[in-house]
Amino acid sequence: MAPSLADRYPEIATYRVRGVENPELTGRLDLTPRGFHAMLTSPSGTIYIDPDPDGHYRSFYKSDYAKSVGMAESQQICQLDHQISGEALDPWVVRAGRQTHSSDQRRIYRLAVAATGEYSAYFGGSVAETLAQIVTAINRVNQIYGRDLAIQFQLVGNNDRIIYTDASSDPYTHTPSGIPTMLTENQQNLDFTLGADSYDIGHLFGILGGGLASVGSVCQSFKAQAYTGTSEPDNDVFYIDFVAHELGHQLNANHTFNGTTANCGGVNRVGFAAVEPGSGSTIMSYAGICGDENLQSNSDATFHALSIEEMGSYINQGSGRLCGTLVSTGNRAPMVDAGIVGEDGVYTIPAGTPFRLTAQAEDPDEDSISYQWDQMDAGGEGGATDADTIGTDIDQQDNPLFRSFLPTTSPDRYLPRLSSLLAGTEDIGETLPTSSRQLNFRLTVRDGESGVSSDDLVIDVDDSSGSFQVTGGSLNSGGRFNSGSSQSINWSTGGTEQSCTEVLISLMSLDASDPPTNYCDYHDPGMTILNLGRYPNSGAALVELPDVTLQQGRIMLACAEGLFFNLSGQNISIQGGSQEIAGDCKPLDGTNLQHGTLFTDAGGATKFDSPGGGGSFWLLNLILGLFSLAAIRERIHHP
């Protein structure tokens, strides 16, 4: 909140936090008349803590929260108003190269959020209660925009003047057919009530399902033409899937899904920005509302690299630079290298073959950094030529094949995920290329302090000689072997003998369950991998097993100087070795929360001093006992 608004509502406090023992854990907290709320981002997912109606606090991962926001799927759509747009909707140019999107400055936009009488009634009908809920929403939105774009939304000092408590007298046509009309009404009302020059971006909250926003409207004369609503506007699906999504449109971000069925069809799909398979999974996608093309139920709390590119260009070179206030952070952005290899910066892999992306990055401030790999190939204006654009075996030569995931602490990403390869299954949203084509990837590195850098990687796919795969030998068949014994392995080279003269044969340790549960996907660097040696890429090798005891493992065969690899068909075990190797890959967990369970406030409180100058803050013993967040970075008067 702006200082003047915060002074009038001292019972509302917001905080930015970062873990001490686990610096990858960052988040936003707020304490309001409606209780304590927390949003924490960690390598294992986005974690929420919210009060429930029974007086308890519930913690949960966003991925475990079903999209239940009080409306039918047909209502959960965002409509784009392209007729009134601040920027031309030009296609994004692939291969933008190495970029720094944000570093030493944060842009603060003055945000005016109006509330219909119906929205206020949902929260008890008072201005203070409604404002508290708006603060929670914007505080959580700021966690993402601050991390990904160095943007902070600050509620204007007189925001309480546009919170309406009587639906019969508010200035909005709050009916399903009236949503487009409400955009014009909100623009007129905010300009008249607050003054057109007193805010940079405006929005309207209601309880009618859906969203509508003018693309590229921040700093423009139509900057308040945006609406977000649902019949249950007090959950994190509303905050992230809807509010953050519509604000993204106002900052010139387009829809990123490539699906064409259910709500993904028609005018909602933007061909030149359709870089996510099916429904997509990031904030500007349609996760959960595209029928059979859904990758998951809800959007992840992260932006796709294309969205960062679109919004970053708008706020730094476009109309978004014409308003807002720049504040120095003293932070320096990470340095990143996506590992361009091969001739002309392009590397070739055989079709139908798994591959691994890896990178090098460091932060000059020694901040903890995270990595996110995104495919940048758009599905095109015409959409898919096949009825199912995200099927497990469909490559249309130009469409996105690989979905996005949350940022992680590992620079590596295996495509497809190792869990799928080990289980012999094909995941929706991860499809190996089967044709000769190019794959364009972008790595985004974040430091959690508004520093964001990226680099691109281009891969050529060759379908002329088949795939690189393990085809036979004792190590492919699986079984129990003695340590030190020599075992055979055979493979199809996929025509790579010239481009990849040697292969690296490795032993991956898994746990003893059947099937293994600690698959150590692309995001987990904890897997034990024993290198068994380099061998000529001839299609056959005799491998001496190491002096270890292993309950369960798998052979990995990879190009020694390249990206592509494949796995043997069955697990093996090794007996009689002098050293025991256990499957030590554990699920990453940013906190010691018992997720999905209820906690009761015991009535006590702990005095917590904020080093950011915000004075003392009384946190529930409940919260301090749940996780190690001993560093509150600052008390935020402008959430």
- The candidate with the shortest Cα–Cα distance to 524, out of 539, 513, 538, 509, is 509
Q: Is the pLDDT of residue 201 over 90?
A: yes
Distance separating alpha carbons of residues 184 and 137, to the nearest angstrom: 23
Which tens digit of pLDDT belongs to each residue from 578-602? Answer: 988 765 444 333 333 333 333 333 3
- 38 and 115 belong to one structural domain: yes
For 147: left if phi > 0, alpha if psi spans -120 to 50, otherwise beta; the answer is alpha
**Among the three residues 428, 462, 496, which one is the final residue of a domain in this structure?**
462
Least confident of 126-140, 311-325, 466-480, 623-637: 623-637
The set of residues, in sequence order, having a beta carbon less than 8 Å from that of 146 and lying 6+ positions away, is 16, 106, 152, 450
- 134 and 16 belong to one structural domain: yes
**For residue 516, what is the domain's CATH number?**
2.60.40
Which amino acid is located at 300 in the chain?
D
- 483 and 589 belong to one structural domain: yes
- Structural element, H or E, at residue 207: none
Identity of the highest mean pLDDT range in 26-35, 187-196, 233-242: 187-196
Following CA atoms 375, 381, 386, 390 in sequence, which dihedral angle do they give, to the nearest 10 degrees?
30
- 172 and 249 belong to one structural domain: yes
- 221 and 350 belong to one structural domain: no
Has residue 121 been placed in a domain?
yes
Higher pLDDT, residue 21 or 458: 458
Q: Is the pLDDT of residue 494 over 80?
A: yes
Q: Is the pLDDT of residue 615 over 50?
A: no
Residue 544 banded pLDDT, cuts 50, 70, 90 = very high
Strand pairing class (78-81; 210-214): parallel
- The candidate with the shortest Cα–Cα distance to 619, out of 10, 8, 37, is 37
- 112 and 178 belong to one structural domain: yes
- 394 and 444 belong to one structural domain: yes
**Among the three residues 575, 594, 613, which one is the final residue of a domain in this structure?**
594
- 272 and 246 belong to one structural domain: no
Residue 96 banded pLDDT, cuts 50, 70, 90 = very low
In the chain, the number of structural domains is 4
- 47 and 156 belong to one structural domain: yes
* Burial grade of 53 (CB within 10 A; 0-12, 13-18, 19 or more): exposed
Which tens digit of pLDDT belongs to each residue from 455-471? Answer: 999 999 999 999 999 99
Q: Which pLDDT score is estimated for 554?
A: 94
33-50 mean pLDDT: 85
Which amino acid is located at 96 in the chain?
A
- The candidate with the shortest Cα–Cα distance to 11, out of 128, 110, 159, is 128
**For residue 423, what is the domain's CATH number?**
2.60.40.10
The partner residues of 107 in beta bridges, in order of sequence, read 151, 326
- Tell the residue number behind the tokens 């679109």, with chain if given: 310
Has residue 248 been placed in a domain?
yes
Strand residue runs (E) in 495-547: 502-509, 529-536, 540-544
- The candidate with the shortest Cα–Cα distance to 99, out of 383, 310, 325, 265, is 310
- 339 and 213 belong to one structural domain: no
Residue 564 banded pLDDT, cuts 50, 70, 90 = very high
**For residue 71, what is the domain's CATH number?**
3.40.390.10
- The candidate with the shortest Cα–Cα distance to 304, out of 355, 260, 257, is 257
- Asked if 78 contacts 226 with a C-beta cutoff of 8 angstroms, the reply is no
Residue 311: how many CB atoms within 10 A of its CB?
A: 28
Query: By residue range, what is the domain housing residue 534?
Result: 469-594
Percent of the chain with pLDDT over 90: 64
Residue 102 banded pLDDT, cuts 50, 70, 90 = low
- 265 and 340 belong to one structural domain: no
| Angle (nearest 5°) at CA 151 between 209 and 50 | 50
Q: Which pLDDT score is estimated for 389?
A: 47
Residue 59 banded pLDDT, cuts 50, 70, 90 = confident
- 415 and 503 belong to one structural domain: no
Which tens digit of pLDDT belongs to each residue from 242-261? Answer: 999 999 999 999 999 999 98
Rounded mean pLDDT of the chain?
83
| Angle (nearest 5°) at CA 396 between 395 and 398 | 110
217-225 mean pLDDT: 97
Q: Is the pLDDT of residue 61 over 80?
A: no
Q: What does the block give as tokens for 595?
A: 């997720």
Preceding amide of 416 cis, omega within 30: yes
Least confident of 107-111, 208-212, 570-574: 208-212
